[in-house]
Amino acid sequence: MQQLKMNVNQKEVTLNVEPNTLLVQALRESLHLTGTHVGCDTAQCGACTVLMDGRSIKSCNVLALQAAGSHITTIEGLAQKDGTLHPMQAAFKECHGLQCGFCTPGMVMSAVDLCSRHPHADETQIREQLEGNLCRCTGYQNIVKAVQMGAANMK
């Protein structure tokens, strides 16, 4: 076991992890942050997407120890402490950018990163940037609308 120190959702945490522990496992199993979903275990679907130092990453493809010293934000850490939704979360709700909800946390986290880097992204750019996040329910049209609305409200 090795000691891992990182900041998760604006809280300093220290965990003892095996060297082969994936970040998604540490978040879900040790910190009980189950909003980060495990979909494919091969970094293909994006359900496990979180922000590491402000950039979206697939946490099933990162060893927990690689996150040492990093700031991790999960879907649980996006809303304000009083429960007010982040503008991107609110946009997904308003635009019905979800159906079953399994992909939604990863999709929202990817969208937050996308909009922080490309605040004026058009529909084509949004679709290209979300390529690594799979949704089997929505057909993506409402997700694109949600990202556009979220981007406008994040400014």
Query: Side-chain half-sphere of 116: how many Cα atoms within 13 Å?
Result: 13
Quick check: helix, strand or coil at residue 109? helix
Q: How confident is the model at residue 41 (pLDDT cuts 50, 70, 90)?
A: confident
Residues 20 and 44 in one domain: yes
pLDDT digits (tens, 9 = 90+) for 104-138: 999 999 999 999 999 999 999 999 999 999 998 88
Share of the chain above pLDDT 70, in %: 100
Residues 7 and 70 in one domain: yes
Residues 40 and 16 in one domain: yes
Question: Per the structure block, which two tokens stand in for 121?
Answer: 């992204």
Residue 93 predicted with pLDDT over 90: yes
Count of H helices and E strands in the chain?
5, 5
Distance from C-alpha of 74 to C-alpha of 149, rounded to nearest angstrom = 21
Residue 134, judged by CB atoms within 10 A of its CB (0-12, 13-18, 19+), counts as middle
Domain membership of residue 135 (yes or no) is: yes
